[in-house]
Amino acid sequence: MTKKIRNLFFLLFLLGQVLFAKEEKDSLSESLSAKKLNVELYFRGGAISDYHSQEALSGSHFKIDNARINVQGDYNEFLSYRVRFRLNKAFSPTSQDNASDALDYAYITYRFDQEHRWEATIGKQLSVMGSFEQDINPLYEYIFTDYLNGVYANIFLAGLQLSYQLTPQHKVGIQLHNTLNESFAKHLENNLFTTEGFTASKAPIGGYLYWNSSLWDGKFKTKYSYNLSQFAKGYYTHSVSLGNKLQIGKHTAYLDLVYSYMGADFGLTSSKLLSIHKGLAKEAYLMHKNIVYKCAVSRYDYQITDRWSATTKIGIETTGSRKELSESLRTNYIYFLAGQYAPLLSQDLRFYVAYVGNTLHYDQALRKDNEQLHRIAIGAYYTLPIFKR
């Protein structure tokens, strides 16, 4: 039996203990099953047909895009928790936080006062970057930006968060976190880079300052954040993220804008392109300095009827160097158009058909062919309620 399977059975065993435990009392005089508990299975899968400019990447097959177990609830009115893990990702521990790529969430949240204005969260959690792309249930997205795929930022991170609800419409907070889930040496080694020219930071951590608002009776929402982080000693990354969402009747749209200046390019996309351009071999790639990343991504949803909906999304990302060649060494275009049908109004079950496109454009100085993906996807996604209390 593999280690991954053993870990899965262990997690399911723990889940069973929670679901079927007797109503025993602990030192806080609360039942073991607590005030509220919700267990769900996220699933999405179907058939995809890819046509890629690189023939080897073209083909048709069936694929499980998403399979996640989500456990969350309230122990009492002050303490809540959440654990979510993916069934189709590696359970082996990551070197920096001792979690795993499979683990999205494992945190607790404590509310300080009777009005629940102060909250503290500790554990592996979602970054508070100003983005509505990351707020959407992952089942509902057909393609993510590189940013949300964790290339240029740590999305599921171990850390500590403190927030304060100024008014019902405004919330501010701070989040401290590991810059990456892998250590300095392991991250570079995994991506065939050398550590030459850089030293690992003694404190490879970062911090977000954020402000969230809900205006016009909740029709317009914002999530704005600033992040400062360090990966290599003496080099800092500064990021500003502005998330905006508008919902009026059957229409919902968001627009996310991101700008990052990376003193040391731990995203490694531009560094890899520059290393290849300079003729460096694999495992000798060099991490570069002064890298810039920019992103604009927008999505629009229209609820045609109670059962039918349509969605479209478009995004553009650029990355490059302030000092070498161009600030747009690589431009990534993502886009899709999808239709969804909900046969059961009481369940989060959707059948979908979607066209998904991805275009990669490289600066002429790199002498690298552009890449193009066209995809047709047909399938279903479902949030299966396993247990609810």
pTM: 0.89
Per-residue pLDDT tens digits of the chain, which is 389 residues long: 455 445 544 454 444 444 444 344 443 344 444 678 999 999 999 999 999 999 999 999 999 999 999 999 999 989 999 999 999 998 999 999 999 999 999 999 999 888 889 999 999 999 999 999 999 999 999 999 998 888 888 999 999 999 999 999 999 999 999 999 999 999 999 999 999 999 999 999 999 999 999 999 999 999 999 999 999 999 999 999 999 999 999 999 999 999 999 999 999 999 999 999 999 999 999 999 999 999 999 999 999 999 999 999 999 999 999 999 999 999 999 999 999 999 999 999 999 999 999 999 999 999 999 999 999 999 999 999 999 88
Alpha-carbon distances of 83 from 158, 189, 350, 360, rounded to whole Å: 13, 29, 24, 35
Alpha-carbon distances of 202 from 7, 137, 234, rounded to whole Å: 32, 35, 10
Q: Kindly list the structural domains of the chain, giving each domain's residue range(s) and its CATH number in brackets, ordered by start.
A: 45-388 (2.40.160.10)
The pLDDT, as a whole number, for residue 150 is 83
d(CA 271, CA 151): 12
- In 249-368, where do the E strands start and end? 251-264, 285-286, 289-303, 308-321, 330-341, 349-362
For residue 149, give every residue at least 6 positions away whose Cβ sits within 8 Å of its Cβ, in sequence order, or none: none
CB of 125 closer than 8 Å to CB of 96: no
